[in-house]
């Protein structure tokens, strides 16, 4: 038995406690002997017996009942509340509201925590009867306690049965409408075309609540013509993680969680499996909590009006205490759907982006400054990063919320296996990637100086075997592609073949001309978007001396859109309608390697998901600016929700506004 007092609240954490008879039996003495020792009337009792009894009392934390009763009666203004625990944010909030209401009327609140144990529910009711509590607010977890409360109606002045609709019950009931809560939450996902759903229930709690939630879920699914399989209703027991991961592997696209704890578990599993919420998996919680606002993305949830529910229960109890009513109708608590950012419409035709380019192991050397000709420098640090412009862009596309399909070649070596595993773990489709015996995996040697400036030397390796014939063999992978991202670290005839296929299939090509070379008319005339930096643009268009004039020359040769990246000065966007300048965002420069890859992958993903060009460039500029503050390329790529969160914090603009 554990008792704590503060303000007008008494907390009684239930345990199955020992009585005087239990102590007497354990000590091998009579109950009268135990009573005399407790009450200091033990003059004629041996010291050995006395020590044995006191030791048992201490071991079992026995508190003489009279002392407990004296503390709890408190002038007979005690209201009892029976809860499973305070671990749930709902229960914690409810008791806070009840405590405030009781204090305003000078009532003492006595809280009994039953720890999800039916025996303690019965004990709690008997406890409040014994101390003559004025009334009880009772959240049952089992039928045992409900039966005990029903049998106590002649002894109990007032009670309210909470969160449990029970027909023909002698006391009034105030409860959450779990059937319609689950139905509303499930319908919210179904309205967004999420069809492969799972209902996740807590491991503990009332079976009645679980039944109502499951029935509401089934009703919503049936209303959309879907017959839910029982395997899609999971209870969070010891086998939960395995079962849930099997369902995610089978392709579910939405999860309805009973509470905030389960929601956080789903977020952890999604992170471990490299699922993006909500682009890969929509998540909704049936019990709102402040913690759900802190997750990224914040969780859409059902919010019960706990304050109003507490007032209804409290005033219903007082009306019985004051004999103002004899008949009380059952009352349901109001609830509403709180839209946040964890639900996304399921696209029947997913945004598909092909990335054709290099796959390298980046070997990065930190140096005091970039070396001059003939100069030898000592590096202060050496790092290995999976990279290559193709790999960087593929991972970026996936993290920024589109489906990435990679076309490339790897060597049969540790670097190649590491790259393949890394991209697979990032949900990049690797059907277009194969291993070759004849060449090692491509490598890039990168020197990075203190301000983030760098130079790169690339050994193509297996990238050189990405031939036109290999591209042709994989033409079927281009089906359904919206955008194709191409770099020039692969053989140029293969670049030309990719443009040929994209032209035939009406796929928009975005080209990063690195390393730069003069481009033939056939490529320029098929090019949707050209994204060079200033140095590359000078190679492409040597006869003009400003980025805007150079871009306009490219437009005159058939390119539809040009973005020239300007490092820490941002970029300019030029098309036939005019020129726009976008400033970079001020982040400390640690490593600028791959910033253009991050810019391009973010841009393509935003465009594929329906963003207009201006907004896509704003988001991509932010993603690239942020990336220079981190070491390594892939380490610096945000995911879509992190990017949106960063944008909203800077500009106080909602995601919906971003996508308008």
Residues classed as catalytic: 597
Reading the block at residue 297, the tokens are 């993305």
Name the strand (E) or helix (H) holding 133.
none
Residue 140 near residue 161, CB atoms below 8 Å: yes
Beta strand 360-366 pairing with 381-387? antiparallel
- Is residue 8 annotated as involved in ligand binding? no
- Is residue 497 annotated as involved in ligand binding? no
331: Cβ contacts below 8 Å, ≥ 6 apart: 172, 173, 174, 175, 312, 316
CA nearest neighbour of 293 among 257, 338, 254: 338
**Radius of gyration in angstroms for the set of CA atoms belonging to the chain, rounded to a whole number:** 34
Three-class SS of residue 445? strand
- Is residue 627 annotated as involved in ligand binding? yes
- Is residue 389 annotated as involved in ligand binding? yes
DSSP 177: -
Phi, psi (rounded to 5 degrees) for 42 = -110, 30
Reading the block at residue 479, the tokens are 């089906």
DSSP 134: S
| Rounded Cα–Cα distance for residues 388 and 32 (Å) | 85
Phi, psi (rounded to 5 degrees) for 455 = -125, 150
- Is residue 14 annotated as involved in ligand binding? no
Residue with tokens 């500029």: 621
- Is residue 591 annotated as involved in ligand binding? yes
Reading the block at residue 556, the tokens are 């005159």
Residue 272 near residue 635, CB atoms below 8 Å: no
| Rounded Cα–Cα distance for residues 217 and 181 (Å) | 9
Residue 325 near residue 408, CB atoms below 8 Å: no
Neighbours of 283 (CB within 10 A): 27
Reading the block at residue 62, the tokens are 């026995």
DSSP 486: E
- Is residue 392 annotated as involved in ligand binding? yes
CA nearest neighbour of 255 among 226, 288, 280: 280
Three-class SS of residue 117? coil
- Is residue 567 annotated as involved in ligand binding? yes
DSSP 235: E
- Is residue 533 annotated as involved in ligand binding? yes
- Is residue 105 annotated as involved in ligand binding? no
- Is residue 474 annotated as involved in ligand binding? no
- Is residue 316 annotated as involved in ligand binding? no
| Rounded Cα–Cα distance for residues 431 and 94 (Å) | 53
CA nearest neighbour of 248 among 221, 276, 228, 224: 276
Taking phi over 0 as left and psi of -120 to 50 as alpha, with beta for the rest, 7 belongs to: left
DSSP 405: E
Residue 620 near residue 606, CB atoms below 8 Å: yes
Reading the block at residue 649, the tokens are 């914090």
- Is residue 566 annotated as involved in ligand binding? yes
Residue with tokens 């204090």: 103
| DSSP annotation string for 45-104 | S-HHHHHHHHHHHHHTT---HHHHHHHHHGGG-EEEEEES-S-SHHHHHHHHHHHHHHHH
Q: Report in angstroms the alpha-carbon separations of 498 from 36, 338, 410, 536, 643.
A: 97, 46, 19, 21, 31
| Rounded Cα–Cα distance for residues 327 and 349 (Å) | 57
- Is residue 388 annotated as involved in ligand binding? yes
Residue 152 near residue 179, CB atoms below 8 Å: no
- Is residue 80 annotated as involved in ligand binding? no
Residue 637 near residue 626, CB atoms below 8 Å: no
Annotated binding site for K(+): 591, 593, 627, 630, 632
Annotated binding site: 360-362, 388-392, 489, 533, 565-570, 591, 593, 597, 627, 630, 632
Annotated binding site for substrate: 360-362, 388-392, 489, 597
Annotated binding site for ATP: 533, 565-570
């Amino acid at each position: 038995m554990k008792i704590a007092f503060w303000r007008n609240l008494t907390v009684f954490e239930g345990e199955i406690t020992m009585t005087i008879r239990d102590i007497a039996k354990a000590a091998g003495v009579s109950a009268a002997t135990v009573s005399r020792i407790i009450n200091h009337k033990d003059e004629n009792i041996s010291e050995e017996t006395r020590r044995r009894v006191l030791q048992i009392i201490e071991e079992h934390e026995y508190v003489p009942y009279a002392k407990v009763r004296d503390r709890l009666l408190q002038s007979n203004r005690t209201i009892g509340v029976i809860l499973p625990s305070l671990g749930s944010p709902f229960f914690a909030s409810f008791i806070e509201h009840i405590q405030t209401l009781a204090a305003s009327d000078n009532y003492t609140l006595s809280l009994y925590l039953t720890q999800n144990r039916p025996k303690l529910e019965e004990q709690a009711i008997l406890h409040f009867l014994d101390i003559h509590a004025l009334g009880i607010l009772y959240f049952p977890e089992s039928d045992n306690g409900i039966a005990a409360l029903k049998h106590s109606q002649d002894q109990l002045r007032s009670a309210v049965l909470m969160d449990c609709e029970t027909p023909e019950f002698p006391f009034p009931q105030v409860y959450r409408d779990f059937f319609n809560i689950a139905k509303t939450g499930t319908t919210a996902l179904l309205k967004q075309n999420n069809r492969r759903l799972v209902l996740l229930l807590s491991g503990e709690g009332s079976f009645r609540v679980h039944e109502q939630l499951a029935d509401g879920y089934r009703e919503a699914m049936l209303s959309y013509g879907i017959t839910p399989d029982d395997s899609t209703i999971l209870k969070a027991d010891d086998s939960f993680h395995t079962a849930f991961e099997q369902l995610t592997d089978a392709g579910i696209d939405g999860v309805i969680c009973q509470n905030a704890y389960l929601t956080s578990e789903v977020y952890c599993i999604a992170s471990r499996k490299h699922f993006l919420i909500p682009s890969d998996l929509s998540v909704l919680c049936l019990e709102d909590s402040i913690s759900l606002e802190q997750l990224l993305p914040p969780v859409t949830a059902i919010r019960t009006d706990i304050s109003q529910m507490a007032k209804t229960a409290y005033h219903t109890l007082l009306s019985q205490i004051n004999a103002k009513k004899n008949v009380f109708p059952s009352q349901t608590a109001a609830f509403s759907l709180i839209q946040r950012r964890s639900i996304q419409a399921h696209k029947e035709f997913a945004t598909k982006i092909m990335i054709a380019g290099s796959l390298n192991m980046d070997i990065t050397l930190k140096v005091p400054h970039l070396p001059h000709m003939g100069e030898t420098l000592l590096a202060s640090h050496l790092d290995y990063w999976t990279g290559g412009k193709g790999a960087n862009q593929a991972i970026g596309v996936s993290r920024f919320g589109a489906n990435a399909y990679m076309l490339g070649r790897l060597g049969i070596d540790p670097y190649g296996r590491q790259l393949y595993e890394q991209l697979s773990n990032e949900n990049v489709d690797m059907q277009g990637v194969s291993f070759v015996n004849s060449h090692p995996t491509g490598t890039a040697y990168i020197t990075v100086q203190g301000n983030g400036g760098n130079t790169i030397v690339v050994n193509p390796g297996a990238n050189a075997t990405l031939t036109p014939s290999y591209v042709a063999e994989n033409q079927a992978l281009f089906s359904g592609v919206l955008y194709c991202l191409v770099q020039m670290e692969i053989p140029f005839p293969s670049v030309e073949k990719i443009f040929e296929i994209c032209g035939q299939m009406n796929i928009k090509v975005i080209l990063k001309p690195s390393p730069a070379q003069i481009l033939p008319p056939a490529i320029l005339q098929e090019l949707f978007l050209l994204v060079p930096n200033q140095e590359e643009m000078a190679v492409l268009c040597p006869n003009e001396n400003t980025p805007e004039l150079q871009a306009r020359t490219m437009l005159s040769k058939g390119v539809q859109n040009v973005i020239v990246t300007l490092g820490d000065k941002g970029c300019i966007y030029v098309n036939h309608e005019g020129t726009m300048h976008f400033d970079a965002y001020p982040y400390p420069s640690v490593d600028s390697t791959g910033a253009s890859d991050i810019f391009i992958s973010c841009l393509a993903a935003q465009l594929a998901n329906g963003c207009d060009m201006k907004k896509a460039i704003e988001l991509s500029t932010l993603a690239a600016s942020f990336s220079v503050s981190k070491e390594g390329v892939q380490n610096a790529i945000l995911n879509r929700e992190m990017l949106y969160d960063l944008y909203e914090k800077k500009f106080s603009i909602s995601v919906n506004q971003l996508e308008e």
